[in-house]
Amino acid sequence: MRVQLAGEPGRPDRANEDFAAATPEALVLLDGASSPDGLESGCTHGTAWYVRRLGVHLLARLTDRSDRSIGECLADAIIETAALHGGRCDLAHPNTPAAMVVAARLHGSSLEYLVLGDSMLVLDLLHGPPRVIGDNQRFPGGEELRRQAWAAAPGSAERASLDMQYALAVRAARNTGRGPWIAAASPKAAAYAECGLVKLAGVSALAAFSDGAARFTDRFQLGSWADALRLAAQSGPAELIARVRAAERTDPRCERWPRGRTHEDALAVHARL
């Protein structure tokens, strides 16, 4: 694989909680689950720390354990990362650091992939439209709260209260069987990832997008997924993120395009096969 990647934090005063890394045989992209200000996590390290370590462990497993399925590699990486927290962190806390995950690796004559959460993997097929994989952990029970939050004025006390209610509802349900599954402290979540194999002969390239970069298509409709692939291939992932940022700046109050934040951490990876 020949890989290009680019990322940008949603706020200049906060670390980017997205992470990506790659080798010629494998790539990973993680989108950290951000928390509202003031919501305790039970962890002394934070989300940025977690996504970097989980991403590095997952990439290592993908490249040195071909005998393990891609889902098993994620489970192994979750266990290894949980062990790094030490006794100072409460990993049973519902807001313990967590992340959405995209992973892909060359596996013989096939490409093996995994997606868990609302990040996206897009396969550029030699024949037919792109294959889009992801956004596979919806939370129907929280949709009404999220709609109410997005309808409230950004920066208002009402918006802050609704955002907190939604965040608490999601965290109370996730990884319990009553809500979305996400990579956190329990390897059980890996069993709920969307995994598969596709023949390399039918794929020319792939791209992975955190939800902040996926706004190009799924929120702002600046182009189709085919357009997103073409832009990332021809101008690079940084240009795709630049166009997302330009659109965000035209709608600072999130009125034209209702969304959680004006700017979100954004990360995009493009790989030619």
Cβ-proximal residues to 175 (8 Å cutoff; 6+ apart), any chain: 181, 182, 184, 186, 188, 189
User: Using an 8 Å Cβ cutoff, are 198 and 110 in contact?
Assistant: yes
pLDDT tens digits for range 169-178:
989 999 999 9
CA 219 – CA 105 distance, rounded (Å): 28
Low-confidence winner among 39-43, 60-64, 245-249 (lowest mean pLDDT): 39-43
Q: Is 49's pLDDT higher than 90?
A: yes
pLDDT tens across 192-209, in order?
999 999 999 999 999 999
CA distance 205 to 214: 17
- Calpha distance 146→132 (Å, rounded): 24
Query: What would the mean pLDDT of 216-237 be, rounded to a whole number?
Result: 97
* Mean pLDDT value across residues 90-119: 94
Q: Confirm if 30 and 55 have CB atoms less than 8 A apart.
A: yes
User: What is the model's pLDDT at position 238?
Assistant: 98
- In this prediction the pTM is 0.93
In this structure, the strands spanning 110-116 and 194-199 are: antiparallel
Lowest mean pLDDT among 15-24, 36-45, 90-99, 258-267: 36-45
The residue count of the chain comes to: 273
- Which residue in the block uniquely carries the two structure tokens 């194999």? 197
pLDDT band at 14; cut points 50, 70, 90: confident
| Enclosing H/E stretch for 263 | none
In the numeric block, which tokens belong to residue 74? 């994620």
CATH code reported for the domain at 2-138+177-272: 3.60.40.10
Q: What Å distances lie between residue 86 and 27, 42, 129, 171, CA to CA?
A: 27, 12, 46, 22
Distance (Å, rounded) from C-alpha 207 to C-alpha 189?
Answer: 23
